[in-house]
Amino acid sequence: MKCTKKFFSLFIVCVLTISLLSACAASSETSSEAELGKLDPNNPTKITFYSYSLGAPTMKDGMEHLIQEFNDTVGKEKGVIVEGVADQTMQQFKADIAAGKQVDVIQHTFPTLDNSRETLGFKAYEDVFPKDELEEHLKGIAPNALELGKIDDKMYGLAFTFSTPITFINGKLYEEAGLDPNTPPKTWEEVKEYSLKIKEATGKDGFGLAPNNGWITDGVILSNGGEVLSEDRKEAMFASQESIKAIEMWQDLYQNGAHAIGTDTELAEQFMAGNLGMYISSTALHSGVVKAAEAGGWELYGTGLPQFGDKQAVPVNSGSALAVRPDTPEKNAAVWEFIKYVTGNEGYTIITSEVGYLPLRTDLANDPNYLKDFVAKNPLYKINLEQLEQIHPWTIWPAEYATETSTIFNDAIVKAVSTDADVAETLTEAEKQINDMIQ
């Protein structure tokens, strides 16, 4: 009996010791993940930033300026050097990670963020940056934007370059058709009416929204009360009657002369050439469109996403988040300095005025030290800033099949809009394909 008690006591001691050691190890691991190492200006830490904007002709200069400004100021003072890597197709960072190369910060779109999180070592902001510093930095950023890169209640991407849909309007074609560009269409019915008037009066197409746009489609469906994916991301839901009616409206425009035919790139070129009355796209095109209007001798106007009847339009965000994967405490610190700069006041001033995206620190639009003068000269930005209050996240497809499911969805929309296919059958078939994968 005594031996049994002695053995039992020793057993308890061993269990408690192991538990304490495990707890200490776990605590140590957690604290090391959130630890900011010491930076040395005399021996700077180098980090890489993979950016698709660096590979886009209209955004390249502004993004290069953003990186250089950081390196010349905060980077020089703290001891950080950022090397930008142009990755327009968003494939280079994947190849370099697979090859074991240094990939620290990625400008990443939202739909496949969950897939990259699971397969490419992306880290949650809460796990690598101090909680108090993170919370302090996020103050002032549009609250809706902060939710966009969260997965399972952790931030795997901080909203970075960002826009809402805007309907660009060619004032000259409007006037030639007897329309007032200061009174743009509010509903899809009016879009069709105005578009046909422009075509009849000028011989040029009146309206364009490319079926392959990839993100505004979500807003079209949501604006009519439909859904794309359930909140828990376990069920595709875009074949509801509300969604079908929304896409049937779009197909009607396309099939009955009220819609230009072409890809997103082709429609952008058509609008900038002065041959398209209305074009729905991203704010990121703003600087290019302004230059095209000046060169072509026509006035640029604009409005938000059209609505269905009296239902309020639901704009969806485009753009990117900053995903991170630092692997040392020093890298944590270096990446954090870069994140704070490019999503801070100076960073967003450059991003908006030179790259073309919205300032997610919306107060900058009214601050004379930052963007007040720029927004006053470019009033279309006010339309997009107002839409931030109703913004809905661009769909983040479930990780394992993110690429396949987003492709099936986009292909179905292109087929449903640009051909005479039965919309209900097309969407129902695509929805079933997706659900067979993710359920």
Q: Check if the beta carbon of residue 319 is closer than 8 Å to that of residue 160.
A: yes
Q: How far apart are CA 320 and CA 85, in angstroms?
A: 16
Domain boundaries, the chain: 45-162+318-390, 165-316+397-438
pLDDT tens track for 274-296: 999 999 999 888 888 999 999 99
pLDDT tens track for 217-240: 999 999 999 999 999 989 999 999
Confidence class of residue 21 from pLDDT cuts 50, 70 and 90? very low
Burial of 401 (0-12, 13-18, 19+ CB in 10 A): middle
- Give the model's pLDDT for residue 15: 37
Helix, strand, or coil (residue 56): coil
Q: What is the mean pLDDT of residues 332-358?
A: 96
pLDDT tens track for 90-99: 999 999 999 9
Residue located via tokens 């908006």: 352
Q: How far apart are CA 319 and CA 163, in angstroms?
A: 6
Confidence class of residue 319 from pLDDT cuts 50, 70 and 90? confident
Confidence class of residue 35 from pLDDT cuts 50, 70 and 90? confident
Helix, strand, or coil (residue 275): coil
Amino acid identity for residue 246 in this structure: A
List of residues 6+ apart from 24 with CB closer than 8 A? none
- Give the model's pLDDT for residue 148: 85
Residue 205 tokens, joined = 């197409």
Q: What is the pTM of this model?
A: 0.81
DSSP string covering 33-55:
HTPPPPP-TTSPEEEEEEESGGG
Residue 274 tokens, joined = 């002065």
Q: Check if the beta carbon of residue 227 is closer than 8 Å to that of residue 316.
A: no
Judged against a pLDDT cut of 80, whether residue 6 lies above it is answered with no
Q: How far apart are CA 275 and CA 29, in angstroms?
A: 60
Fold matches, 45-162+318-390 and 165-316+397-438: yes
Helices of type H across 211-344: 216-223, 241-255, 264-272, 286-296, 329-342
Q: Which of 188-192, 372-376, 384-388 is the least confident region?
A: 384-388
Reported as type and span, the H/E element at residue 84 is: strand 80-86
- Give the model's pLDDT for residue 85: 98
Judged against a pLDDT cut of 80, whether residue 261 lies above it is answered with yes
Give the number of C-alpha atoms closer than 13 A to the C-alpha of residue 371, restricted to the C-beta side.
Answer: 28
Q: Check if the beta carbon of residue 115 is closer than 8 Å to that of residue 403.
A: yes
Residue 291 tokens, joined = 């230059």
Burial 175-209 (b: 16+ CB within 10 A, else e): eebebebeebbeebeebbebbbbbbebbebbbbbb
CATH architecture designation of domain 165-316+397-438: 3-Layer(aba) Sandwich (3.40)
Q: How many Å separate Cα 350 from the centre of its chain? A: 18
Helix, strand, or coil (residue 278): strand
pLDDT tens track for 117-150: 999 999 999 999 999 999 999 999 988 888 889 9
Closest CA to 244 of 313, 192, 314, 308: 308
Q: How far apart are CA 9 and CA 3, in angstroms?
A: 10
Closest CA to 346 of 72, 50, 55: 72
Q: What is the mean pLDDT of residues 63-90?
A: 97
- Give the model's pLDDT for residue 138: 97
Residue 362 tokens, joined = 């919306």
Confidence class of residue 18 from pLDDT cuts 50, 70 and 90? very low
Can you identify the CATH homologous superfamily of domain 45-162+318-390? Periplasmic binding protein-like II (3.40.190.10)
